[in-house]
Amino acid sequence: MFKNLFIEKKVTPKFNPCEIVDKELVYYFSKYINPFDVDTRILDTSTAFNVESITPPVKNIINLRKINNIKSINKFFETANKKLPFNGTVIGCVESYNERRFRINESFPRLISKFIYINDFLVHRVFPKISITRGIYKYFFNDKNKALSVTETFGRLFSCGFEVINSTVINNLLYFICKKVRDPFYDEEPTNGIIYKMKRIGKDGKIIKVYKIRTMNPYAEYLQNFLFKEHNLKEGGKFKNDFRVTSWGKFLRKYWLDEIPMIFNFLKGDIKLVGVRPLSKHYYSLYSDSMKELRLKFKPGLLPPFYADMPKTLDEIMESEKTYLTAYEKNPFRTDFKYFFKIIRNIILRKARSS
C-alpha cells in the first residue's frame, strides 16, 4: 500500500507528485492519523506560502522538510493553525542538537568533528539569535540550516497553538505529532537573546519584565504547563527532569550569575531587595487563592524568603512566603533586615543555590 502514497512537493500548479514516502515514516504516521485520508496534505516545503495555498477541507498537514530550513518557523505553524480545525494534526521534523552532533561525529574524525560542531553551533545557533549578526546570517545562509534544540522546537509549536502528543527519531531526524488546541499567541517579543526579559506578576497584578541571563533554550517559557503535567515539581518547587536548562545554564544558576541583570529591575523599582519571587502566570496559578491575594499586595524581591527557610514542597514554599509577608506587613524594615542576613548566611554557609 505504501507505493500509493505520494508527496505533494509544493502546492503550486507545477508540482510533480512522484516522490514516495519512506515506509518507516508511513508506519509512524499511521499510528496517529490516516495518511491516505483525502483531508490529509503531505508537503515538502520551507515556506508558509505553500501552506496558505492549501484548499479546504483539511484536517492533517504533514511536512517532510525539516524545520531547520524553514525561513519563518512561527509564521509557518501559525498559517497551519489557521488552516486546521480544532484537534487538527500537524506532523513535522527537526534536526535537533543531538541528531546534528551525531551526524557531524559520524562524518569526521573525533578531533575534527569537535571543532566543526563548535563552529556549527556558533554560526547556525548563536548568529541567528543575536541582533547584530542576524542580518548577516540571513544574507549568507538565506535563514536556512538553523541549529535548533528540542526545547525551542516544542516551545515554538506550543506558542503557535499546538500540543505535542508524540515524538520519535527516524533517519536521524526528530519527528513530532501535534494537535491544534487553541489559536497562536502571536508573540511579538520571543525570548531569543542572551539577556532576556521574563514576563512576571508584580504588585497589584501588574506584569513586569524581569531581566535575566539565559539559562534555558529559547521558547522554554511556553513549556511550563507541559513540564508540570509530565513531570510535576521536585523539592524546592522546581520542575523535575527540566530538559529546558542548558549545561552552561546550570553553571550560571549555581553561582547566581543568571540573576545579575535583575539588579536593573531593583534600580527601576520593579522589585525590592528582599521579597517573594516574581512568578510566571503558570506558577502563580498553582498557588492557593489566599496566597495569590496576599502576594499581590507587595512588590516581589531579588532575595526571596525561600533561601531563608529552604522549603521543599510547594505547600512549604507558600507557608514560608505567608510567614514572611505577614511579618513584613506588620514591620517592613525589621523583617527585611532579619531575612536579608539569614538568606546571606544560608547562601554562604549552607551553599543554598538555584537549580
Domain at 2-96+148-180, CATH homologous superfamily: TusA-like domain (3.30.110.40)
The 3-state DSSP class for residue 277 equals: coil
The residue written with cell numbers 507545477 in the block is: 14
Residue 232: what pLDDT? 59
pLDDT at 347: 84
Q: What is the pLDDT of residues 124-147, one digit of tens each?
A: 988 988 888 888 998 899 889 999
63 touches 205 (CB < 8 A): no
Q: Note the pLDDT of residue 16.
A: 36
The predicted structure's pLDDT at residue 233? 57
**Residue 304's closest CA among 336, 334, 280?**
336
Tell me what pLDDT residue 4 has: 37
| Residue-level pLDDT at 248 | 77
Q: C-alpha distances in angstroms, 102 versus 112, 148, 203?
A: 13, 14, 48
User: Do residues 94 and 68 make contact, with C-beta atoms less than 8 angstroms apart?
Assistant: yes
Q: pLDDT below 70 — which residues of the chain?
A: 1-21, 188-192, 228-241, 351-355
Closest CA to 347 of 318, 302, 310, 300: 310
Closest C-alpha among 164, 225, 226, 222 to residue 198:
222
pTM over 0.85: no
| pLDDT the model gives residue 251 | 82
Round to whole Å and give the CA distance between 248 and 351: 19
Residue 77, pLDDT score: 97
Please give the pLDDT value at position 52.
94
Evaluate whether 79 touches 103 at the Cβ level (below 8 Å).
no
- Give the model's pLDDT for residue 19: 47
pLDDT for 2: 35
Residue among 167, 130, 170 at smallest CA distance from 150: 167
Residues 6+ apart with CB under 8 A from 149: 96, 97, 217, 218
User: Between 332-349 and 314-330, two packed helices, what is the crossing angle to 10 degrees?
Assistant: 140
Q: What pLDDT score does 355 carry?
A: 56
List all residues 6 or more positions away from 204 whose beta carbon is below 8 Å from its beta carbon. Answer: 296
Is residue 69 within 8 A of residue 97, CB to CB? The reply is no
| DSSP assignment letter at 300 | -
Kindly give, in sequence order, each residue whose CB lies less than 8 Å from that of residue 24, ignoring residues fewer than 6 positions away: 170, 171
Q: Map out the domains of the chain as residue ranges.
A: 2-96+148-180, 97-141, 195-218+236-349
What is the predicted pLDDT for the residue at 158? Answer: 93
pLDDT single digits (tens) 205-245:
999 999 988 888 888 788 877 776 666 555 555 666 677 78
